[in-house]
Amino acid sequence: MKTKDLIGIRIKHLRQERGLSQEALSEKVGISPKYISSIERGKENPTLDIIIKLAGALQVDIEDVFKISHEESNPKKLRDMINHLIADAEEGKLQFVVKILRGVIR
């Protein structure tokens, strides 16, 4: 998973913890809700200026935005990470993922 994907997941998690919609966060930061969505999905690589504004709007220190881990233990976060990874996968890859998950979960 790329760093921008992990940062996007982290921003989404921080936003949801604070009960903010993408629209509400976008208003606080001064960017469009579509751009927030793109950041959260790992499609956009936000500038440092935007990350600073996001941290301020989320009322966290900037380093909290970068507290990302490859070894997550929270089940909800793990599900979010899986959903994010498969969101844009092509059919063949999705079928492969299903086979792997069936093998692991059974």
Distances from the Cα of 26 to the Cαs of 10, 33, 47, 59, in angstroms? Answer: 16, 5, 15, 14
User: What single-letter amino acid sits at 95?
Assistant: Q
**Per-residue confidence band for 10, with pLDDT thresholds at 50, 70 and 90:** very high
Domain 3-105: give its CATH architecture.
Answer: Orthogonal Bundle (1.10)
Here the tokens at position 89 are 């996968």
User: What single-letter amino acid sits at 52?
Assistant: I
Q: Give CA–CA dist 22/25, Å, rounded.
A: 5
What is the tens place of the pLDDT at every residue in 19-31? 999 999 999 999 9
Here the tokens at position 12 are 């989404």
User: What single-letter amino acid sits at 78?
Assistant: L
* pLDDT at site 69: 62
